[in-house]
Amino acid sequence: MTDNLTHYRCPACGGTLEFNSRVQKLKCPYCDTEVDIEALKTLNSDTAAEENSELKGGTSFTEEELAKTESYECESCGGQIVVPYGTGAMSCPFCGNAQVVPKEFSGTLRPDFIVPFKLDKQQVKTQYFRHLEGKHFLPKVFRDQNHINEIRGVYVPYWLFNSQVHADLRFKCEKVQRSEDANFVYKRHLYYSVRRKGSLCFKDVPADASTKMPDDLMDSLEPFNAQEGVAYNPAYLSGYLANRYDQDYTLLLPRVQGRMFNSTVDAFSATVRGYDSVSLVEQQASFQQQTFRYGLFPVWLLTTKWQGKRFTFAMNGQTGKFVGNLPRDDRAYYQTLVLLSVIFSILGTFLAYVFLLTEE
Amino acid sequence: MEEFWSAVILGVVMGIILAVIVVNYMASGLKSVHIQTSADSYYDPNQLRFEDRSEIFIGSRLETVPKPRPQSRR
């Protein structure tokens, strides 16, 4: 397969245009020409015609196909690009030109919307160094010697679910009234059965639809705001990596329903007030008016290597939220533990001694 | 003297527990990757609708605890 690649040419110099998150337009990295996404169709009528014809013919992939890789011929230098199946946008490893594979997002695979990148690579670096600040047990050498290996902007496929959760919860609650006389303390335990039956609407609960992205890392980037999404246009992918979904929404639905249910229980429980103890004894839930849609969210991935270990960080390309686990300096951890134990023990001994003396 | 050693044991136990809590709290800043188990950011609290929010009294139980008798001072 050596066709189906699209790159967007600059009308001024012929260079490959890339989406620029600051100006929210395609920008030529060579002559700084800016091209509005909407105006692109008239500039690249050939590309647009090809893209439109592709949009009609999308089909779902079989499991066998998912395991394969694909090769494309770069339109700029003619080099062969080999990528995992499902890669929708990439850079040519030979000439660096941004490439988009329209067929990966065509037909039934076409995203309903895309949230364009709002933050650029420089802001990823700034957020990364901010992420390292104030971490007491971060090894100093990690901060000093650690070098950023790679920063990639990736459009991650997500399923977004809407649903109305109907729940019927029963709680056993207890109030305790205290009184006393000269000889006894009286505690009257009052028991109540509390019911909360109702509904709660959820909108655009996201679930990462790519097995290539770790679920916990993508979850940690939330929340995303799908309301800022725009109609899908492959031009937004230019200059970034992109994957199409390889997990069907039916696979992700149970997990999303679990999240909605937990939030419903929390929201209902918060209305049960005025008791000394509350315990949930019965719960039922059903999900109605379920709808879903498919979108692409912007994520910056940053990788570093330290002591042979690879560390992956991610930044929400929409909000700037930065996440990623950091290594712990065990020596500093245990030194601090011992030091604080000694200080708190001395203070605790003094306070306990004073307390015991006054008790007598 | 007996009070002193009781205070030492109590103080050391409390000190170690408190130190473990503080140090683990400081270390928790290194971990920022977690699986989401709820969807709190994706609903409007004003959209919460109840069909039934009853609270029914079931019964009561009286617990009587004798007061400790005051001890004589040494």
pLDDT single digits (tens) A317-357? 999 999 999 999 999 999 999 999 999 999 999 998 888 88
In a domain, A360, yes or no: yes
- Mean pLDDT of the region A124-147: 85
Question: A223, B58: Cβ pair inside 8 Å?
Answer: no
Average pLDDT over residues B48-54: 93
Do A338 and A322 fall within a single domain? no
Is residue A102 domain-shared with residue A203, that is, in the same domain? no
**pLDDT value at B8 more than 60:** yes
The residue ranking higher by pLDDT, B52 or A30, is B52
Specify the range with the lowest mean pLDDT, choosing from A116-120, A244-248, A260-264, B60-64: A244-248
| Chain B CB contacts of A196 below 8 Å | 50, 52-53
User: Do A338 and A311 share a structural domain?
Assistant: no
Same domain, A228 and A308: yes
Considering only CB atoms, B60 lies closest to which of A189, A262, A342, namely A189
Mean pLDDT, chain A, rounded, equals 82
Do A182 and A203 lie in one domain? The reply is: yes
Name the pLDDT band for A358 (thresholds 50, 70, 90).
confident
Q: Which domain holds residue A360?
A: 329-360
**Domain shared by A320 and A294, yes or no:** yes
Residue A5 lies in a domain: no
Contact B42 A203 (CB under 8 A): yes
pLDDT at B74 over 90: no
pLDDT in tens, A149-179: 788 899 999 999 999 999 999 999 999 999 9
Q: According to the model, what pLDDT value does residue B6 have?
A: 87
Residue B14: exposed, middle, or buried by beta-carbon count in 10 A (0-12, 13-18, 19+)? middle
Cβ–Cβ < 8 Å for B74, A360: yes
Using the predicted structure, report yes or no on whether residue B52 has a pLDDT greater than 60.
yes
Tell whether A149 and A236 lie within a shared domain.
Answer: yes
User: Taking CA atoms, what residue in A is nearest to B8?
Assistant: A349
Of A151, A159, A160, A161, nearest to A322 by C-alpha is: A151
Residues A214 and A310 in one domain: yes
pLDDT band at A246 (very low <50, low <70, confident <90, very high): confident
Mean pLDDT throughout A5-16?
Answer: 70
Does pLDDT of A52 surpass 80?
no
Look at residue A11 in the predicted model and tell me its pLDDT.
Answer: 72
Q: Let me know if residue A252 belongs to a domain.
A: yes
pLDDT band at residue A58 using 50, 70 and 90 as cut-offs: very low
Residues A88 and A162 in one domain: no
Question: Does residue A285 form part of some domain?
Answer: yes
Assess if residue A223 is contained within a domain: yes
Chain A neighbours among B 41-60 (CB < 8 Å)? 41-45, 47-60
ipTM above 0.90, yes or no: no
At residue A341, the pLDDT reads 94
A12-16 average pLDDT score: 70
B47 three-class SS? helix
Across the strands, what pairs with A292?
Answer: A161
Band the pLDDT of A63: cuts 50, 70, 90.
Answer: low
Pair A46, A103 in one domain: yes
> Total structural domains in chain A?
3
- Residue A155 sits in the same domain as residue A282: yes
